Amino acid sequence: MFFNDSCILQFEINDYFCRLIIIILMKMSNIHASIHFKVPEPTLRRLPWYLAYAQLVLKEGEMYLSSTQIAKNIAVDASMVAKDLSYVNISGRTRVGYDVKELVAILESFLGFTNSHKAFLFGVGSLGGALMHDNGLEQFGLEIVAGFDVKYELGGTSINRVPIHHIDRFEELQRKTGINIGVLTVPVDKAQMVSEIMIAGGIQAIWNFTPFRIRVPENVIVQNTSIYAHLAVMFNRLNAIKEEEKIRVLNQKQLKTK
């Protein structure tokens, strides 16, 4: 069960949303502190990898899992795995490793998957509607409970049993619910304006799906998700593979002519 480079890239893309939710929720838990986050962001991005692998091993009936095994199967350094897991307060047994059931339970709890965090979504277009349809977000601890849009005709409708309101009702509903997480999926030219409405209405963490880098006060958390950036990485790596293949073929031809 070894993940090669291409598998790692696919794994990164598949669990990207999961890791971003984790980062938002972990930072939200510290928002009233001095904005000093105890767990480094790179660690937060790797912990879901360890959880996913531990869940696979648990399904296979294994009882113990070492940091060396984790490292080998997801292609990271064993010392990095051990250091990352030191943040979640779990101890392994010498020459045996971590109890797999305990590891899964502790990671799920630490990453916030055992709790539900409610969020509002702003911009019920194609992407916003797709996210409202996605029940999978709830298993990672995020529940979208309402959508807001500037189109009056959307008010009073729903997607996947999630109600949609005109954005004029946002502050009223925020005061009633206290929800402070917002998902931003508006057109790029409306991103800054809507983010300011969100912040003024009580949103403290924004999951920004627009390619625009919104400007916010220091005490507001922003996690940017650029689908286009992932496409750029994928296209760039594909082009690199093609170029390497061209060079390899050319070298082979040159050797044959000698």
- Tens of pLDDT along 175-205? 999 999 999 999 999 999 999 999 999 999 9
Average pLDDT (199-223) is 95
Residue 254 placed within a domain: no
pLDDT computed for residue 148 by the predictor? 98
- The answer to whether the CB of 47 falls within 8 A of the CB of 88 is yes
Rounded-to-integer distance, Cα 52 and Cα 169, Å: 39
pLDDT at 7 over 60: no
Residue 253 placed within a domain: no
Number of neighbours of residue 70 by Cβ within 10 angstroms: 25
Beta strands in the chain (DSSP E): 64-65, 98-99, 117-122, 142-149, 158-159, 162-166, 181-184, 205-208, 221-224
pLDDT computed for residue 11 by the predictor? 42
- Predicted confidence band at 252 (pLDDT cuts at 50, 70, 90)? confident
Rounded-to-integer distance, Cα 74 and Cα 64, Å: 17
CATH number at residue 186: 3.40.50.720
- Tens of pLDDT along 110-169? 887 778 899 999 999 999 999 999 888 887 789 999 999 999 999 999 999 999 999 999
pLDDT computed for residue 42 by the predictor? 87
Higher pLDDT, 16 or 123: 123
CATH number at residue 64: 1.10.10.10
What pTM value is reported for the model?
A: 0.70
Residue 66's domain spans which residues?
5-110
- Tens of pLDDT along 41-73? 889 889 989 998 999 999 999 999 999 999 999
Note whether 127 and 101 are same-domain residues.
no
- The answer to whether the CB of 100 falls within 8 A of the CB of 53 is no
Number of domains in the chain: 2
Number of neighbours of residue 17 by Cβ within 10 angstroms: 17
- The answer to whether the CB of 111 falls within 8 A of the CB of 65 is no
Mean pLDDT of the chain, nearest integer: 85
Note whether 99 and 12 are same-domain residues.
yes
pLDDT computed for residue 18 by the predictor? 60
- Tens of pLDDT along 87-104? 888 888 878 899 999 999
pLDDT at 1 over 60: no
